[in-house]
Structure 1
């Protein structure tokens, strides 16, 4: 049996605090959680959850990316080895930069994957 909330008076919309929104978003973003199930539990639409997520995105702790650094064991490279030898661009969507020090097998496999 579903619960029905009767709104009386001039106020017909529910008001959610940022803390309540963040709590619901955390519940919906948990591993294995289904947004539709969370929305049903809180009697809101799934679109409301996605709207809140977009508006409150800066406040939600999500995955962050770190800069990748490759340590080549202290080997010094000349300036020509650090500048790209070939730049491959496909339909202005994918761009691949090939450096002279790149292994041929890796370049061939990457170019094959781009086909």
Structure 2
């Protein structure tokens, strides 16, 4: 009997063309993460565009949020829409006029919100229902 008639053939698949891991600079990681955060449901499309796994992009996004990529949540912006001038609203009798140490915010629906300049940004975001861009 021939010994090699019992051996199976093994095919070796290459992981990448170069056979080595790619190295991404911090600037490239930040650019890719910001692109993936630009619109909802962009993570998978961005990962495909740069030929990286979604798991790796998810890890980079978490590092970005935690401030481990050199920038993070403190550099986030909330989208703002400039609305047409609202219709005048009749003030209630109990409303105090805004003073120099208050901030008046006129909402799109015409309602007014008067807050102190020292208000906690997290509380103000909850009052205004600002969506989380993540």
TM-score, normalised via structure 2 length: 0.39
Per chain length, whose mean CA-contact separation is higher, i.e. which structure has more relative contact order (CA < 8 Å, sep 6+)? 2
Larger radius of gyration: 2
- Normalising by structure 1, we get a TM-score of 0.44
